[in-house]
Amino acid sequence: MPSDCIPFRETNYFSSFICDYLDEKPELREFYHRFPKLDNFKDQLLEKQRSFPLENRQVLKTVLSSQYENVNISEATQKNLDLLDTNTTFTITTGHQLNLFTGPLYFLYKIISTINLTSVLKEKHPEYDFVPIYWMATEDHDFDEINYFNFKGKKIQWNRKDGGAVGVFDTEGLDKVFEIFSSEIGSGRNAERLKNLFEEAYLKHNKLSDATRYLANELFAAYGLVIVDADDKELKRLFIPYVKKELEEQVSYNSVLPKAEKLDTKGYKVQVNPREINLFYLSEGLRERIIEKEGNYFVNDTEISWSKSELIKHVYDVPERFSPNVMMRPLYQEVILPNLCYIGGGGELAYWLELKDYFEAVEIPFPMLLLRNSVLIQTEKQAEKIKKLAITDTELFLKQHELINRKVRQISNIDINFDSQRIHLKEQFEGMYKLAEQTDVTFVNAVKAQEVKQLKGLDMLEKRLLKAQRLKLSDQVQRLTAIQNELFPNQSLQERNTNFSEMYLEYGENLIPELIKQLDPLCGEFIVLKQ
């Protein structure tokens, strides 16, 4: 697959916030620690090495060994698990929800960015080891965001009762989803492999977290990926001091709110606003906010309550029941992992950039933040169509009406640009303005009104001529529309809609190795891959 790159800003699909971050604009410098350049990783590594306790490494290794007990572990993953308790080993982490059958394509790009960065770092610093981590968002409770995937324009959805953390959901009902998927996907070697993946993951595992681990491991075990389920009592025991501090001092709220307000004053959208207490309480079928009122603590919309001393004791007794929300989850990650860099999408990095002062307040090194690879994949047939239509990669990212109007102007045998007429008209009115100023100043307004009217008339004529040419060139317009709709489903990025199964049908077992080969995690631009 040859590849081309487009600056993120030129795609018009990424916020000015993220584009300014990638450009290292000075106004954002106070919101991050070190920018993710290769030369900056050594200092990050040494800082993390000094601060990360050996005890945390040992607990992490023990917990992960237990989580992998019934998983078919590759030699590469086993090697990485064995390395985690040495102080010369560090992690690169990405996180993602437990989307059904991986959800949209960018699930793959997140993990591949992570795997590839560990390879780049190992080559740069051979005396250290680097482990790629996929952090499963098992404590998330937004089931509506993960209970479906798109396949060839159809939404394949899992319908079941919602409630509580999704990681412990049973997989009941996914047999019906499998039947629908099987009927849609057809036959053939690649289709059979996909059916087998779905069946082994979701019909032979009882929990969603176990099914997701199986699937991610099957796809990426050859590259040493380590999968973490942080919904674990022993891992959360390491986090107790920070949970206690949050309940007693509301440290995340007091640290993040001023940072969010600074972003707002600089004209950037604040991604997430902190709550006074950024913790949930977990129990069977329940994940609800903890709130404080007049010195007592409550679980929102329940009868559960504690005094302050009772709650702190409860934290020490059952730490697994306390779940960090989006503001505290990044800190939890950095407390239990010897991590150097977090790789995420634009929305994720936007809320991470609110957190630097919070990390400083609790004396945990703030990780480097890297935007994951973004990719547009063109099949051989699609690339050929694009070539025949003479569409550039950058033009593909235009809004559809802009793309069509631009191409119609280019291929039309008549000039549909009235700019020269506009210039000529304005020159004529210049003389009329001079005449009006010499006679009656009130006449100036009449001249101005006539100029505006005639310019609007030219605009209308140009639009009508363009519309007429679009009708005349309807075949080309239909082909332009069809190819862009294929590559940008629902006028959105392919990676945010399309499931990997569509690409696997096309490329089979070569899909992931080819992406591993082509994606440079530090390139800083949108990648277009062509067959």
Average per-residue pLDDT in the chain? 92
- The model's pLDDT over 311-332, given as tens digits with 9 standing for 90+, comes to 999 999 999 999 999 999 999 9
Query: For residues 357 and 277, what is the distance between their CA atoms, to the nearest angstrom?
Result: 17
Cβ distance 84 to 77 under 8 Å?
A: no
Q: Which amino acid is at 256?
A: V
- The model's pLDDT over 193-249, given as tens digits with 9 standing for 90+, comes to 999 999 999 999 999 999 999 999 999 999 999 999 999 999 999 999 999 999 999
Q: Which residues make Cβ contacts (< 8 Å) with residue 222, sequence separation at least 6? A: 74, 76
Q: What is the pLDDT of residue 467?
A: 65
- The model's pLDDT over 109-165, given as tens digits with 9 standing for 90+, comes to 999 999 999 999 999 999 999 999 999 999 998 999 999 999 999 999 999 988 889
Q: 69-77: long-range contacts (C-beta < 8 A, 24 or more apart)?
A: 71/213, 71/214, 71/217, 72/217, 72/221, 73/217, 73/221, 74/217, 74/221, 74/222, 74/224, 76/221, 76/222, 76/223, 76/224, 77/217, 77/221, 77/224, 77/225, 77/226
Cβ distance 160 to 169 under 8 Å?
A: yes
Cβ distance 349 to 18 under 8 Å?
A: yes
- The model's pLDDT over 51-79, given as tens digits with 9 standing for 90+, comes to 999 999 999 999 999 999 999 999 999 99
pLDDT band of residue 466 (cuts 50, 70, 90) is low
Q: What is the pLDDT of residue 3?
A: 74
Domains of the chain, residue spans:
9-238+327-374+511-530, 414-472
DSSP code at position 203: I
Cβ distance 375 to 393 under 8 Å?
A: no
Query: Which parts of 310-383 are beta strand (E)?
Result: 322-324, 339-344, 368-371, 375-378
Cβ distance 131 to 90 under 8 Å?
A: yes
- The model's pLDDT over 176-191, given as tens digits with 9 standing for 90+, comes to 999 999 999 999 999 9
Cβ distance 378 to 531 under 8 Å?
A: yes
Q: What is the pLDDT of residue 180?
A: 97
